[in-house]
Amino acid sequence: MLDLGSIALVLMLCALLSTLSYWFGLLSASGATASFIMGIIIGSLGSVGWLVTLLAFTFLGFFVTKFQFQKKKRLNVQEGVGGERTHVNVLANGLVPASIAVISFIVGAQGSEIAGIAFISSVAVAAADTTASELGVMSKKVYLITTGEKVPAGTDGGISWIGTVSCIGASIIASMIGWIAIFQLSPFNLIIMIPITMGIIGCMLDSVIGATLENWGMITKLGNNMITMAIGALMSIIAYLLFI
């Protein structure tokens, strides 16, 4: 059931943050618009906690994108012209979480633990992949995940120790924030290992698909992100049903 008070809060948060993101050059106009729409869907059909989880990932993404940005620009591996993200980036990372919110609302499970875990897992995949990509591009030693061949930084499917450590750290952080925001419980809970693990697996799978289907021109970066986030969410549901 939709709560008008929560919806009003969601609208204000989404409007404020989308406007500020555009104002500070973090999102393009199309990106800010897409972010506003995604935020309303997730916050209204999921919960405010779901929205907070997504916003935490968004700010993490902005931070790692801007981190040593001039160096990334010199290497020509930066996101956009000035680090801004467009509607393509927003949709790539927001469609799966929004779909989980819609489906959960339709079946009346938006307040359930399993829906929350699926949502956190999808965000953990996005956080792990974004952080690994943005920090890994500055690595001097990058290897193709499928063959071990040394490749230039920024190559689809390339992995490095910096990217791998960043992937693990981001998945842990995103999962802990999501756990606290959605369940209002201590993150020191064995079940939290499900989204943490899915975030790491999803990030590695993203690299495998990047080195194969994406490099072969059979899939886009948008498609890769959506597939790995969806797989992470589905695997978390299976893990929950099998082990909890």
What is the structure's pLDDT at 228? 97
Quote the DSSP letter at residue 134.
H
Cα-to-chain-centroid distance, residue 217: 23
Output phi, psi for 149, to 5 deg: -70, 140
- Virtual CA dihedral for 217, 231, 64, 24, nearest 10 degrees? 90
What is the structure's pLDDT at 106? 94
What is the structure's pLDDT at 25? 78
Domain positions in the chain are: 49-60+86-243
Strand partners, 27: 85
**Token digits of residue 117:** 């875990």
By three-state DSSP, how is residue 174 classified?
helix
Cβ–Cβ < 8 Å for 194, 240: yes
What is the structure's pLDDT at 103? 96
Please give the average pLDDT of every successive group of 10 residues along the chain, which has 244 residues: 77 89 85 93 93 90 79 64 74 94 93 96 96 88 95 90 96 96 86 97 97 94 94 98 88
For Cα atoms 188, 116, 193, give the angle at the middle one, nearest 5 degrees: 35
pTM of the predicted model as reported, rounded to 2 decimal places:
0.91
